[in-house]
Structure 1
Amino acid sequence: MNIYILLTIILLVLMLLNVYIGKANFFLLSINAVFSLFMGLRSVTVGSDTLLYKEIYNSMASNPLSSPLFWKFPIYNVYSYIIARVFNSFQAELIINAIIINTIVLFFIKKHSPNIFLSVFLYYTLYFFFTGFNISRQCLALGFCLLFLHFLIEKKVIKALMCLIIAFGIHTTAIVTLLFIPLIYIHWTKRNFLITITGIAAMSIFSSKFISLFMSLFSEYNIYANGASTTLSAQNEGNRVFLSLFYVSLIVISFIYSPKNIKLENVSEERAKYIQKYYLFLVLSSLGTMISLIFNRDILILRIESYFSIFLIILLPYTMKEISRKSGAIQEFMIKNSICILTLVPFFVQLGKNIGGILPYMFFWQ
């Protein structure tokens, strides 16, 4: 665990260093290099699914079209085949995966977070960074889903659809992010937020039918129906309940300090966009938290949850900004630092329980 403590210190030092340098791009480039190298240079024993991805890589390297896996996730398999042809090294795939995942996440943070440093800190302490050690194929898909949402917000529909197609070709669970489309066009208020969340919660009654339909369309996920897979096993023992309750408390704080219900035509265009994005990230984060809390023992649903809970790293900086506007900088400083300290508790608890199989950390040459 000592190496993860060192990584935490490096992150804090880079954040403090930026106070004197004052250049966010330098911080993002530095932390991207650190995160990507740390994730990419790991041994195949680090991460519960890493050995599985090595088997996929070996299958694609020889004759991809003859592999039974090819049409299950074609874009990822073509990607693995190209890496095998060019580099002839699975370690190269791990490094490239790490660069893609972290670069996209940090790009999304730069474009949409009002506090880049807080978002990066939360990306790390809320364990989203370490998810890439385990389910890296899905994290690649998640990255392109972030780009999908980014281009939807920017009203660049063609680019958005291209990113969604890539994400779906990497991991079929990415299809759930089609939900981003209607959410983008809702006129958000506190009332509409509560109606939406209540409606989604009511739909959970029919979750078994949705799961059955999904598994009938994508038979490779039938292994989750009978618990045959151990993927995410540590998260599937009820440990997620306590983490989800912590997330719920963050959602409640964000809702309490959410912008008032005002007519968007009565505010500036910049403020109107800000309000819409605040509620969009609040809804997406709430959805992820609801899924994690209600279906904490369902591995397949927990895979879907990650497409939504990731937005907590964007929502909380928005919340801190609203607290500063409404209650002043002192209260915002106190709450922000309290949340940062509190996130270290579930972080080290998950690390101590070896969630994702990331202990002990070893470099590939060890």
Structure 2
Amino acid sequence: MAIYYVSIIGYILSYFFISLIKQELKIAGDGLFVGLFVTIFGGVSAVRTLSVGTDTETYGAIFSLIGTNHDLHDMLTSKYPLYEFYNYLLYQVSTSPQIIIAANALITTLLVGIAISKLSSSFFFSSLLYITGYYYFNSMNIGRQFLAAALIMVGVAYLLERKVNLFWLFEFLAVLVHSTSLVGVVFFVVYIIHWSFKKVIVFIVSILSAFLLIQKVMPILLMIFPDYALYNGENSVLSLASQSNGGQIYVYLLYLVITIVGVLLLNNYLNSRNKKFVFLNLIMIITVMLGLVFSKQILISRFVLYFSLFAVIYIPNVVSKLTGIFRLDSHERFLISNNFNMMIVVTMLVPMTVQLVRNISGVVPYLVFWS
């Protein structure tokens, strides 16, 4: 477990060192930070043995099965054809299951890093929240879905840049990796609506009403996603019931407090061109409402993942907007924003540690594949 804390400390120290180099050489952009993020956290995930992550061995077995027994027809008729083809190509490079574990880890971390660099007001704090929010550790377990979720994150980044075609490209790729990413259509619907305060209220009421219908909708969801029938309850190996016991419910409560602050600031941006802040608020409303109400429903939690990932981008943006309402000079605003963000990151370390101690997602003990 110590490797995870060492990685965080190493990342923080390296980040500040790179910041000094960027400032000295006047290098713009977050490219170096994305590279650091992928190198440290993607690297740690990539070299883990198959025993790290509850479903990691399963992904290794699927990789071997695809490489040895599947042909073009099997891939075209698969529920996740792109993921099968991707496995098949990697099998031509190496027959060791370690290659799919490493590729999933590096590609997912890279995509998340790119999305953060495009959307967040602070790459540093958003990247740390991705770790302390336990997303990173869950990515070592449900790797295929996280790959799809990361694709959607990048797609949404392009959507908010008004590059709609690129959004649909990434959404399409995500669906070919994991069927639950069909939920990505919600992001487009939220984006195209011209929001007013009344529409936001109707939006919240609509979600609350949907809660009352969820048990009737559940059979339909299971028809669309039959593979998740075994998760329809509280007895799965990885469930939000166990995650809540590990402190995840407290994370959602923290998200709720921050979202309330964001909603209070929202009225200042509804009629502006800043669609990103309005969009992120609505996504977080979905996240906290579904996350809190269905904290013990694993099937719903798989859908919530696509929305909750945006918390790592939303939180620094809320802090930035909050400090912006006060009459502060740029230096004061910078210091106060950083202090607020760091307090949140440190707070998130508590449920992260509890979940690691409880070994949520099976990431403890950590072992490298050559050990």
Whether TM-score is above 0.5 comes out as: yes
Match of 1:184 in 2: 191
Deviations, residues 120-143 of structure 1 (Å, cap 9, x unaligned) = 111111111122111000001101
Match of 2:42 in 1: 36
* TM-score computed with the length of structure 1 as normaliser: 0.90
Corresponding position: 1:263 with 2:271: yes
Quote the offset at 1:189 in angstroms.
4.3
Opposite residue 107 of structure 1, the aligned amino acid is I
Match of 2:301 in 1: 302
Which of 236, 243, 247 aligns to 1:235? It is: 243
Match of 2:341 in 1: 336
Match of 2:79 in 1: 72
* Deviating more after overlay: 290-299 vs 71-80: 71-80
Checking the alignment, whether the CA contact within 8 Å between 1:187 and 1:276 is kept in structure 2 is no
Deviations, residues 284-318 of structure 1 (Å, cap 9, x unaligned) = 12212221111111111111111000111111121
1:262, 1:361 → 2: CA distance? Answer: 46
Quote the offset at 1:281 in angstroms.
0.9
* Deviating more after overlay: 349-358 vs 155-164: 155-164
Which of 53, 68, 71 aligns to 2:59? It is: 53
**CA RMSD of superposed structures (Å):** 2.3
Match of 2:14 in 1: 14
2:209, 2:178 → 1: CA distance? Answer: 27
Residue 161 to residue 27, structure 1, CA distance change in 2 (3 Å) = closer
* Deviating more after overlay: 314-323 vs 325-334: 325-334
Residue 334 to residue 218, structure 1, CA distance change in 2 (3 Å) = closer
Opposite residue 176 of structure 1, the aligned amino acid is V
Residue 226 to residue 251, structure 1, CA distance change in 2 (3 Å) = closer
Which of 87, 90, 101 aligns to 1:83? It is: 90
Corresponding position: 1:251 with 2:287: no
Match of 1:269 in 2: none
Q: Secondary structure at the match of 1:44?
A: coil
Which of 359, 362, 365 aligns to 1:360? It is: 365
* TM-score computed with the length of structure 2 as normaliser: 0.89
Q: Secondary structure at the match of 1:200?
A: helix
Matches within 5 A, 1:17-166: 17-21=17-21, 22=23, 23=27, 24-65=30-71, 71-166=78-173
Checking the alignment, whether the CA contact within 8 Å between 2:290 and 2:304 is kept in structure 1 is yes
Opposite residue 4 of structure 2, the aligned amino acid is Y
Checking the alignment, whether the CA contact within 8 Å between 2:133 and 2:251 is kept in structure 1 is no
Matches within 5 A, 1:309-320: 309-320=308-319
Overall identity of the aligned pairs, in %: 27
* Deviating more after overlay: 36-45 vs 154-163: 154-163
Residues paired across the two proteins, number: 357
Opposite residue 291 of structure 1, the aligned amino acid is L
Matches within 5 A, 1:212-231: 212-225=219-232, 229-231=236-238
Opposite residue 113 of structure 1, the aligned amino acid is S
Checking the alignment, whether the CA contact within 8 Å between 1:236 and 1:299 is kept in structure 2 is no
* Deviating more after overlay: 294-303 vs 221-230: 221-230
Residue 159 to residue 114, structure 1, CA distance change in 2 (3 Å) = same
Quote the offset at 1:326 in angstroms.
1.0
Runs of 4+ aligned structure 1 residues displaced above 4 Å come to: 65-70, 236-239
Deviations, residues 59-79 of structure 1 (Å, cap 9, x unaligned) = 111111587996232221121
2:336, 2:40 → 1: CA distance? Answer: 32
* Deviating more after overlay: 253-262 vs 73-82: 253-262
